[in-house]
Amino acid sequence: MSRIGKLPIELPEGVSIKVDGNRVFVTGPKGELAKNISKVVSVKKEGNRYVVSVNSKSKSARSIHGTTRAHIANMVNGVSVGFSKKLEMVGTGYRGEVSGRILSLAIGYSHPVKIEAPEGIIFSVEKSDITITGMDKEIVGEIAAKIRAIRPPEPYKGKGIKYKDEYIRRKAGKAAKTATAA
C-alpha cells in the first residue's frame, strides 16, 4: 500500500470536496477544479478529512493509489493558495512584456514570440523574470515548460530561458580545449 496514498487530505478553511462517481470536484476561494479518478480507488470523508482507498489488490490499483491522492491534494492546494513557477531570461537584450493575456518575448529571434495564457493562468514580468501563476499545478508546469522550450539555456554562456532555481552545467569553450591539449 502506498505511503503517500495512506495520508489523509486535510481541508483548509473555505475548501470543499464533492465526489460524484469517479469525478472529484474541489471548490475554494480561487475557483473550482474537477478531475476524473480511476474506478479502482475511492475517496471517502472521515470527519473533516478525506481518505483515498484502494478497491482491489491488483498491482495497477496500488500504483494509482498515491498518484490519485497527490492529484487531489494538489487540487486542494491550488484552489486555496495556488501555484507559481518562476523563469529567468539570461542574455543581452532578452526581455518580455505582458499585454492582457498575451506574453510577448524578445529573445534573440527576428520576431517577438507571443504566448497566449490559457484560462486560469496569469503571466507577470519583472525585469528578466517571468512568473506564471494559476490554480492547476499541471497547467502551470506545462506552460512554464513550453516557455522554456522556446529558448532553452545553452551550456557555453548560459543564455536562454531557465527555471529560477535551475543550475546550468557549463562547458569549456574552444580556448580551454586547445590550452589543455598543448
Portions of the chain given CATH number 3.90.930.12: 3-80, 83-163
Mean pLDDT computed over every residue of the chain: 92
**176 CB contacts (<8 Å, ≥6 apart)?**
none
pLDDT digits (tens, 9 = 90+) for 53-112: 998 888 888 889 999 999 999 999 999 999 999 999 999 999 999 999 999 999 999 999
Start-to-end CA distance of the chain, whole Å, equals 60
Mention the CATH class of domain 83-163: alpha beta
Round to whole Å and give the CA distance between 88 and 93: 13
The reported pTM is: 0.87
CATH 3.90.930.12 fits 3-80, yes or no: yes
Q: 49 falls in which pLDDT band (50, 70, 90)?
A: very high
Grid cell 484502494 in the structure block, residue: 54
Report residue 16 as a C-alpha cell.
470543499
162 closest CA partner among 102, 85, 104: 85
How many angstroms separate the Cα of 145 from the Cα of each of 88, 90, 102, 123, 138?
12, 16, 17, 14, 11
